[in-house]
Copies of this chain bind each other. A is one copy, B any other.
Amino acid sequence: MKQETRKDEIISTAARLFKEKGYSAVTMRDLATSMGIKAASLYNHINSKQEILKAIIISIAEEFTNGMSSIIQSEASNISKLNSIVALHVNITANNTNGMASLNNDWMHLEDQLDYYLQLRNEYEASFLSIIKEGISSSEIKNSNPEIIMFSMLTTLRSLYLWIPKKEDLNANDLANSLSEVLIGGINI
């Protein structure tokens, strides 16, 4: 765990501001003011506003890709893989709530890295869907529409960034377990 550089501070401050108003509505002067410096001084540490967005989003996207890769390769049951996906989202989001907001809402403002981001996202969703389909084949999962199941789970998981900060006394494991129960077990008796 390397110590946080000034560039890291800029990136995490930017992520906080991007969460509140979105990438496009946050100016370099806003960011500088939040850091207690002038806008021009930011450029001693970063090359462009774009670069900040890229740094926020791509690193998280790659975390998801790596996590999914481990899950896919494991020998667990498909239901157990879904539980692991829930835990993956809870953990990544708990560690970088602000960044998750940019990933969800500002990915379209990635320029050079947009294609790469979309590739990672498509691969992630394909892996997710294949787990659900295999779970249906093996009778672990109800024979419902697999796209609807994935959509429902994934949108809930993607929105965790809105919800986790409100639970100050958060235990990530407890949340992941409760959420898995609701998402997988349903709510009716």
A140 to B181 CA separation, bound complex (whole angstroms): 16
Residues of B within 8 A of A186 (CB): 142, 182-188
16 CB < 8 A contacts A-B: A21-B108, A22-B24, A22-B105, A22-B106, A24-B24, A79-B188, A142-B188, A145-B182, A155-B155, A155-B156, A158-B159, A182-B186, A183-B186, A183-B187, A184-B187, A186-B188
Residues of B within 8 A of A25 (CB): 24, 109
Identify which of A45-53, A56-64, A68-76, A146-154 touches chain B: A146-154
Q: A22-B105, A25-B24, A184-B188 are in contact. Are A156 and B149 (CB under 8 A)?
A: no
1/0 per residue, CB under 8 A from B, across A150-189: the answer is 0110011011001100000000000100110111111111
Q: How many residues of A contact B (CB 8 A)?
A: 38
Number of copies of chain A assembled together: 2
Decide: A179 and B148 in contact? CB cutoff 8 A: yes
Residues of B within 8 A of A41 (CB): none
Decide: B145 and A155 in contact? CB cutoff 8 A: no
Output the least CB separation between A189 and chain B (Å). Answer: 6
A141 an interface residue at 8 Å Cβ cutoff?
Answer: yes
Partner of A189, one of B22, B142, B156: B142
